[in-house]
Chains A and B, each alone.
Chain A
């Protein structure tokens, strides 16, 4: 039977040759992830699973990562208490990939960078943007804390095999159009629930030429159209990246692609030559328009460059190229969040951090920062922020009467200089 790459990966993890869309399966998990927000609830549920009578045990301490990236460095007493609780759990069960203190980076950049996720895997994370890793040709999806607790306890997750929407990207990319613009345009086309419960498989000549980081940006936002996972078949770009992060050549597995004749519930073609730099207006990621089509100047109070969507080195390079020799507008706070310590170090070596400082940007530690309204850049009533992040929901970055606009890092950098949303 012909299957999509997602079906094939799931089938292999429940010892079947074929799984059908809609079927419920119990699948083996290769890697499990949680953060400082989702871990405390998961820990409580984990102990409940074992109850009084059984000795609690983590299925495989080497396959678990806990990353304290949301509210760190501890933003207040409650966060400090939670992180202490989670740290004690990580130590007690000798969790191998526990990231705290100076090791912290944004989880979805940290795991690929450390070679912890690889093509063909099933990765389950208590964070909705776990779908990011699909850019490497694996099945990864976000769950809640109880699902994750069950993964910790048993190494298994229940899954309903998703139907797949194939999205084919054609045409030539316009200037300053990146993965972010493609995925925003896609979400606009299909809507914030357009792929609910489904897989989006990103294909076509444009994807083949896209950098691994632009690919990560796209699969990262699969959840913003409701998708269970986003996936891209691994190719030479994937293998080169893996070689860099893992230090050895990844063994290419020929089965890791969709069969000809695999069943898709929908096929959508996107002509990229019609896509220009995008901005998603408040309060849904589907509200994107071409920046050049904005009728009025939208003045902003803050720019955020970072997050699991656009905190990669490539994003910082793009922003720095715009900001070099220019000053951030005096009415704008421009916040930079390198996604990981390694990215931070490389940005330092390449002089990007110096460029940012000279421009008047604020350099922050590698965390999620204000993306989810945690800390380090919260908005006041009536304030507007342009961010390279992934969500612009009501109150997402602070006061419920504040506004978030989403864009790529080049638009963000130009806008920081101008003081209003601009692509040049």
Chain B
């Protein structure tokens, strides 16, 4: 995820609390690891038409503890490959949060996120400025800036580049 990605814009797909990684991508699809395949089955246990409903750039808005459960990186990979540009949640389970940062899927914590957005609201996110705009409701929400250490990983688009540049 690049903080200078200023053009994150799309409509909201809402998810409940405690969406676990089995719901995001169940084990029956973990016998493959190609992104496109995983993307095609993203969140189908929650909504079998998820992939038909979302377009490139759309944003997931979820309740608390998004991504709990298994450590499968296939979960953020599937979300990213489905075209989702950012996940906003009231809180994230820690392994999912790490994985998302590591592979460059923008993830943002926002208090009361579930209450602030409805399904299909138009939303625009400016990560550099830390601002989320709900265009449908004409509301602006400030987000907490990432800690310095994470910004370093984020600024090089993920952990692979960070490791390559700093740790080898």
Once A154-B163, A226-B93 are accepted as A-B contacts, the answer to whether A393 and B103 lie under 8 Å apart by CB is no
Q: Which residues of B contact A8 (CB under 8 A)?
A: none
Q: Are B102 and A144 in contact, with the CB atoms below 8 A?
A: yes
Q: Determine if B26 is an interface residue (Cβ-Cβ < 8 Å).
A: yes
Stretch at the interface among B16-24, B49-57, B120-128, B135-143: B16-24
Q: Are B73 and A146 in contact, with the CB atoms below 8 A?
A: yes
Interface centre among B71, B158, B163 (most CB of A within 10 A): B71
Q: Which residues of A contact B163 (CB under 8 A)?
A: 49, 150, 153-154
Q: Determine if A254 is an interface residue (Cβ-Cβ < 8 Å).
A: no
Q: Which residues of A contact B111 (CB under 8 A)?
A: none
Quick one: closest A residue to B29, CB to CB?
Answer: A78
- The CA of A154 and the CA of B74, in the complex, are separated in Å by 23
Count of A-B contacts judged by CB separation below 8 Å: 143
Quick one: closest A residue to B163, CB to CB?
Answer: A150
Q: Are A40 and B98 in contact, with the CB atoms below 8 A?
A: no
Q: Are A192 and B65 in contact, with the CB atoms below 8 A?
A: yes
Range of interface residues on A (Cβ < 8 Å): 35 or more
Once A50-B168, A226-B93, A394-B22 are accepted as A-B contacts, the answer to whether A75 and B70 lie under 8 Å apart by CB is no
Q: Which residues of B contact A373 (CB under 8 A)?
A: 22, 26-28
Q: Are B160 and A146 in contact, with the CB atoms below 8 A?
A: yes
Shortest beta-carbon distance, B62 to chain A, in Å? 12
Q: Determine if B91 is an interface residue (Cβ-Cβ < 8 Å).
A: yes
Q: Are B30 and A37 in contact, with the CB atoms below 8 A?
A: yes
Q: 1/0 contact trace for B71-92 toward A, CB 8 Å?
A: 1111011000000000000010
Question: Number of B residues whose C-beta is below 8 Å from A?
Answer: 43
Q: Determine if A325 is an interface residue (Cβ-Cβ < 8 Å).
A: no
Q: Determine if B14 is an interface residue (Cβ-Cβ < 8 Å).
A: no
Cβ contact of A196, chosen from B32, B45, B94, B164, cutoff 8 A: B94
Interface centre among A54, A125, A130, A372 (most CB of B within 10 A): A372
Q: Are B68 and A193 in contact, with the CB atoms below 8 A?
A: yes
Q: Are A146 and B71 in contact, with the CB atoms below 8 A?
A: no
Q: Are B102 and A147 in contact, with the CB atoms below 8 A?
A: yes
Quick one: closest B residue to A42, CB to CB?
Answer: B73
Interface centre among B31, B45, B69, B168 (most CB of A within 10 A): B31
- The CA of A176 and the CA of B74, in the complex, are separated in Å by 38
Shortest beta-carbon distance, A221 to chain B, in Å? 12
Q: 1/0 contact trace for B113-156 toward A, CB 8 Å?
A: 00000000000000000000000000000000001111001000
Once A193-B64, A226-B94, A374-B27 are accepted as A-B contacts, the answer to whether A153 and B33 lie under 8 Å apart by CB is no
Cβ contact of A146, chosen from B30, B91, B99, B149, cutoff 8 A: B99
- The CA of A127 and the CA of B149, in the complex, are separated in Å by 24
Interface centre among A125, A374, A394 (most CB of B within 10 A): A394
- The CA of A323 and the CA of B68, in the complex, are separated in Å by 35
Q: Are B164 and A395 in contact, with the CB atoms below 8 A?
A: no
Q: Are A372 and B160 in contact, with the CB atoms below 8 A?
A: no
Q: Are B91 and A193 in contact, with the CB atoms below 8 A?
A: yes
Q: Determine if A126 is an interface residue (Cβ-Cβ < 8 Å).
A: yes
Q: Are B23 and A393 in contact, with the CB atoms below 8 A?
A: yes
Q: Determine if A149 is an interface residue (Cβ-Cβ < 8 Å).
A: yes
Once A142-B95, A196-B65 are accepted as A-B contacts, the answer to whether A49 and B33 lie under 8 Å apart by CB is no
- The CA of A124 and the CA of B68, in the complex, are separated in Å by 18
Interface centre among B27, B64, B150 (most CB of A within 10 A): B27
Q: Are B23 and A82 in contact, with the CB atoms below 8 A?
A: no
Q: Are B103 and A153 in contact, with the CB atoms below 8 A?
A: no
Q: Are B71 and A143 in contact, with the CB atoms below 8 A?
A: yes
Q: Determine if B159 is an interface residue (Cβ-Cβ < 8 Å).
A: yes
Q: Determine if A308 is an interface residue (Cβ-Cβ < 8 Å).
A: no
Q: Which residues of B contact A197 (CB under 8 A)?
A: 94
Once A153-B168, A193-B64 are accepted as A-B contacts, the answer to whether A128 and B31 lie under 8 Å apart by CB is no
Q: Are B22 and A396 in contact, with the CB atoms below 8 A?
A: yes
Quick one: closest A residue to B150, CB to CB?
Answer: A24
Q: Which residues of A contact B94 (CB under 8 A)?
A: 196-197, 226, 228
Interface centre among A76, A125, A196 (most CB of B within 10 A): A196
Q: Are B71 and A38 in contact, with the CB atoms below 8 A?
A: yes
Cβ contact of A82, chosen from B27, B31, B72, cutoff 8 A: B31
Q: Jot down 17 A-B pairs with beta carbons below 8 A, ordered by A.
A: A40-B33, A45-B160, A48-B164, A82-B31, A143-B71, A144-B102, A145-B99, A146-B158, A149-B160, A150-B160, A153-B168, A158-B149, A197-B94, A226-B65, A391-B69, A395-B22, A400-B45
Binding site for B on A (CB under 8 A): 24, 26, 37-38, 40-41, 44-45, 48-51, 54, 70-71, 75-76, 78-79, 82, 125-128, 130, 142-147, 149-150, 153-154, 156, 158, 160, 192-193, 196-197, 223, 226, 228, 284, 372-374, 391, 393-396, 400
A-B complex: 9 closest residue pairs judged by Cβ atoms: A144-B73, A144-B99, A78-B31, A24-B149, A193-B65, A146-B102, A128-B71, A154-B167, A373-B27
